[in-house]
Structures are given as C-alpha cells and as structure tokens.
C-alpha cells in the first residue's frame, strides 16, 4: 500500500467552525489531491497541488482552502464549515512528470459530519 | 475539459454471470482512461488503465475494458463475477497533458449468491 495517512479518520463539527484535514505521504510524490465523495456524484476534485506551495482549484473549490508547505503534507481547510460540506474526503497522490496521471494512490478517507 | 458518464448507478448480477459496466467520456483532447474500484469502507484502488496502444486492456481480478474512440466509451467487463466483486466502480478520465483526473459518479455492483 502507498504510504498515505489521512487524519482525522472521523470528525463531527458544528456549522461555522473551522476544520482542517491532513494528508501525509511517505512516497515523495509530487502531486497531491483532495476529493470529496458524495452519493450520486462520485468523486469530485476540490483542490490539488503540483509541488510545495503550488496549488490549483478543482471542480468544487468554493468554501475550501489548501496549503502545502512540505512535500509530504497537504492540508485541506474548511474556513467556516457548512452542512453541505458533510462528506467523505479522500486524499490522493501521484508521481510527477509524464506519469503524473497514470495512477492515483488513495488514502482511507475522512468522514466529516457538519451538524 | 473532460467529463465522464456512467449510465448505470446500480447493477445487480448473479454470481458466475458475466457483467458489463458502461462508461462514456467527452474530451476535446487525447485522453487516458481508468477504472477504479472501491470496496466497502476503503479508499479507491486502480483496476486498470488505458494510456495508449492496444484498445483492450486487462486489469486485476479478471476484469478487462475496451477503449472505443469512435464511441467515446470505455466499458468494463468480467466474464464471471464472484461475491468478492461487490463494490463501487468508478470510471475516470484525464487529458494526456493535464494535471487533473475526473471521475464519473460510480456504479454499484452487487453480486447475488
């Protein structure tokens, strides 16, 4: 298994509070992604990073911010959580260069509930 | 931009029967195509991929898929399913020079004993 750790695994929070999810990798892969998984929508890309301090938006970036200060860590922050952000969040990584999209490795996910 | 359609949200099939999960994509550029599988309470793992070359690709656990450029399809097949194949299956697409991988909504395969 690829060395990807997501924390926390489960989180319950209240509307309006800030939440930070962490993705840690030990593979030294260049690309890191945050997806959310919702019934009927599959996986939707929130943000991704192609290097330290290099990030870009995905399909559903509103309400989310990210940071990557080290190769191994990619943080997803919900500045003010809303009930619509209740979801399962997956981190993924891939190699860079020409092989950047050949295979994604996924973490085990974070179940977030916003009450 | 790319997009992916999976026409069947749920597919029930009896054990040892064949199965086909359908996937269609849209893109204005050359693409890579993927099938990922998600077993209950787990993350996704790559089942198979088409990058170039032969349009028939084989993956793990006896699955295969065929790339059809004229029909913009990448359907997944298995000649005989097992109970252990019960899972969610996601088709995905990426432009060959793009950073993003876009996933379809998923198909839930239920294998009935």
At residue A98, does pLDDT exceed 90?
Answer: no
Top mean-pLDDT range of A13-27, A28-42, B46-60, B96-110: A13-27
Q: Which residue of B has its CA nearest to A31?
A: B99
Q: Cβ of B46 under 8 Å from any chain A Cβ?
A: yes
- Picking from B67, B72, B77, B82, the residue whose alpha carbon sits closest to that of residue B107 is B77
CB crowding B2-18: b at 16 or more within 10 Å, else e: bebebeeeebebeeeee
Split at pLDDT 50, 70, 90, the class of A108 is very high
- Picking from B56, B58, B79, the residue whose alpha carbon sits closest to that of residue B66 is B56
Does A102 contact B51 at a Cβ distance shorter than 8 Å? yes
The minimum CA-CA distance between A7 and chain B, rounded to whole Å, is 14
At residue A109, does pLDDT exceed 80?
Answer: yes
Q: Cβ of B101 under 8 Å from any chain A Cβ?
A: yes
At residue B36, does pLDDT exceed 80?
Answer: yes
Q: What is the pLDDT of residues A51-86, one digit of tens each?
A: 999 999 998 999 999 999 999 999 999 999 999 999
Model pLDDT, residue B27? 85
Model pLDDT, residue B31? 87
Taking residue B22's Cβ as centre, other Cβ atoms within 10 Å add up to: 17
DSSP state of A7: E
The minimum CA-CA distance between B83 and chain A, rounded to whole Å, is 22
Q: Over pLDDT 70: what percentage of chain B? A: 99
CA A26/CA A69 separation, integer angstroms: 15
Model pLDDT, residue A2? 65
The minimum CA-CA distance between B15 and chain A, rounded to whole Å, is 25
First to last CA, chain A: 33
* Closest Cβ opposite residue B42 in set A35, A56, A108: A108
* Closest Cβ opposite residue A109 in set B9, B43, B98: B43
At residue B87, does pLDDT exceed 70?
Answer: yes
């Amino acid at each position: 298994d690829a060395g990807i750790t997501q924390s926390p695994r489960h989180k319950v929070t209240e509307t309006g509070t800030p939440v930070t999810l962490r993705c840690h990798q030990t593979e030294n892969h260049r690309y890191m992604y945050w997806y959310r998984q919702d019934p009927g929508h599959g996986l939707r890309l929130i943000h991704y990073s192609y290097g330290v301090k290099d990030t870009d938006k995905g399909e559903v970036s509103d309400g989310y911010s990210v940071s990557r200060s080290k190769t191994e860590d990619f943080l997803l922050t919900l500045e003010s959580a809303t009930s619509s952000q209740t979801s399962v969040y997956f981190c993924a990584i891939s190699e860079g260069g020409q092989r950047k999209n050949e295979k994604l490795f996924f973490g085990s996910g974070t179940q977030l509930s916003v009450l | 931009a790319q997009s992916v359609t999976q026409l069947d949200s749920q597919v029930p099939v009896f054990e040892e029967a064949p199965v086909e999960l359908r996937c269609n994509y849209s893109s204005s550029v050359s693409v890579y195509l993927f099938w990922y599988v998600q077993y209950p309470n787990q993350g996704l793992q790559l089942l198979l991929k088409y990058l170039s070359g032969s349009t028939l690709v084989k993956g793990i656990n006896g699955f295969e898929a065929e790339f059809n450029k004229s029909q913009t399809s990448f359907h997944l097949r298995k000649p005989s399913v097992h109970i252990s194949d019960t899972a969610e299956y996601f088709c995905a697409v990426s432009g060959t020079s793009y950073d993003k991988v876009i996933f379809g909504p998923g198909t839930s395969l239920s294998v009935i004993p």
